[in-house]
Structure 1
Amino acid sequence: MTFEPPQKGNPHQLTVNQHTFPSASIARFANEKGAVQVLRKASVKHFHAKPTDRIFCAQRVWDQQAEGGFMKGIEDAFQELASAILDDPAFRLGSQHFVVINEFYCLWNIRAQWKMNERLADPSIASAFEVAGLLREYTQDEQEQLEAAGIGYIRPDLTLPSRQIAAPSIRLQLSDSVRMMRGDIWELLQADEGEFVVPDNFFELYAVPLSPTAILWAHGGFPSGRLDRLAVTAINGEAVATSVEYFFARDLFLCPL
């Protein structure tokens, strides 16, 4: 299934390219030109990309209400925390911060899964309810106005946009995933040598890269919070192994693998 593009000019400012890992997080890894170095695993070729690049995004997989609603709330809370951690060398993580990190970590991975999986078909209500027709058939412009306002709708052909179904499914997945992580303890790890790779997901590890030399970690094993080159190599190896489509870094040549 291909995505449904908005009408020309996107007058209602619907988000087409939906980041799995937020552009604000990607930007913390950008070089002096504002780009990160990406390696696409299928081609084994690396290239530079801005945080807004299409490779980091799904295309209208979930609806605007999810994108600008609960997802934005989770992202904003995490970005505020990430900035506080990176700006203050003496910052101490506590249980109130673990909730924020858990939600962000789970949302990142769930969105990555939805991007990787085949897009849902648009469901039809015609056969299920034997609907003869609609009292009102909305134009594309009216449909987009409704989505921008967070209101669901039925198309004239009696189908629903699959993104209206995806959004509540993601919210349920998120709730279940966060509940399973309750009690996990996160710590900040700093690389003394080398830089971190960021995968397109971290399904296999509880980790959230913050910057080229800082990462949030929930596995223990590093009591000092400082990582030598061997430890950075081990984490980067896991990042590369868990990535499906791509991984990136500020400079891949500075990332031990």
Structure 2
Amino acid sequence: MGTTNPHQLTKKQHIIPRKSIARFCNDGGLVRVTRRDGATFPAKPKNAVFFASRMWEERSENGHKPIEDKFQEIADAVCNAELTSLDQRQSDQVTAMFALWAVRSRLVEANAAGSGLQAMPGVKGLLPHANISGWSSDDRDQLEKSNYVVCDPDGSIPGRMFAWPRMQREINLICNRGSAMKWGVLHAGEGEFVMPDRYQQTWMFPLSPTILLAAERGPETLSADAVARVNSISMSEHRQWFLEKR
């Protein structure tokens, strides 16, 4: 059994937390993914469709983990029926996770359009005295893991190194917009919710096939028709795919 390199970077970066995807899995650990072209396929939460490849630097990956952890505590409590309504502090934590999801999605979309951080040519000249010709890939990974700005072998700074200030600025803007907003718990009385890869306009966060958080709504149990309307919104706002319980 191999050992784990303590300086290894997270290169497969989930846009939506893996744990959030896992709540939609069936007993076999699979969800059903539907792409924009209509194709469907079963997938595990670690499937490549759910992550970006080194879209932001390690500081942004690990630095935002407290946002994910606080959100998952709330999501677990809601899904386990230990929490039926959210107070302002809990709502703010959900808003922070929703903001992180939105910002990650925007980075992925911008890169796909050729204007994202990963698509930027390496910026040269900011570290004129850096001599990294002898640095190995592990050396650079170790420094990035320690939150240093790290150059590529040619001396340029890759675009992902500029993710932290951009992500923080956009997360703060979204959180400020939702600063007085509360999230409510919606239950599917009939039918099941789907989860899209993003929302463009609507502030919703599916937690499981039968539970969804919505801004300024709930607590409420939805009819089959209401669940279908929610899913219609989710499917209309997705970019590449949406998932559901298989």
- State TM-score, norm by structure 1: 0.86
Q: Report the residue type matching 2:21 in the other structure.
A: I
Measured against aligned partners, the alpha-carbon deviations of 1:190-243 in whole angstroms (never above 9, x if no partner) come to 0100000100001221100011000001143x6x60100111011000000000
Change over 3 Å in CA distance of 1:178–1:46 after alignment to 2: same
- List per-residue Cα deviations over 1:43-94 (Å, max 9, x = no partner): x11111001111011110111121112x211000100111111112553311
Q: Does 1:246 align with 2:231?
A: no
Equivalent residue in structure 1 for 2:49, among 44, 55, 62:
55
Q: 2:130: which partner in 1?
A: 134
Separation in 2 of the partners of 1:135 and 1:14?
22
Matched, 1:146 2:149: no
SS in 2 for 1:159: coil
Paired amino acid for 2:119: L
Q: Give the counterpart letter for 1:68 in structure 2.
A: N
Change (3 A) 1:156 1:48: closer
CA contact (8 A) 2:25 2:31 kept: yes
Asked whether the 8 Å contact 1:39–1:47 carries over to 2, the reply is yes
Q: CA deviation at 1:154?
A: 2.7
Matched, 1:181 2:178: yes
3-state secondary structure, aligned to 1:39? strand
Give 2:94's match in structure 1, choosing from 101, 104, 122.
101
Alignment of 1:157-236 (within 5 A): 157-220=154-217, 225-236=220-231
Match of 1:125, SS state, is: coil
| Alignment match, 1:33 | 28
Alignment gaps of 5+ in structure 1: 1-8, 252-257
Post-superposition shift, 1:165? 0.7
SS at match of 1:18: strand
1:118-144 deviations in Å (ceiling 9; x for gaps): 233143223x78x4x534543322111
Partner AA of 1:30 in structure 2: C
Identity of matched residues, % = 31
- CA–CA separation in structure 2 for the residues paired with 1:155 and 1:193: 53
Paired residues, number: 236
Question: In 1, Cα distance between the equivalents of 2:13 and 2:153?
Answer: 26
SS of 1:62's equivalent in the other structure is: coil
Counterpart amino acid of residue 60 in structure 1: R
Q: Which residue of 1 aligns with 2:119?
A: 120
Change (3 A) 1:140 1:36: same
Corresponding residue of 2:115: none
Q: Is the 8 A contact 1:18 1:59 kept in 2?
A: yes
8 Å Cα contact 1:206/1:219 also seen in 2: no
- SS of the equivalent of 2:150 reads coil
Query: Aligned pair in 2 of structure 1 residues 213, 144: CA closer, same or farther (>3 Å)?
Result: same
- Structure 2: give runs of 5+ residues left out of the alignment: 112-117
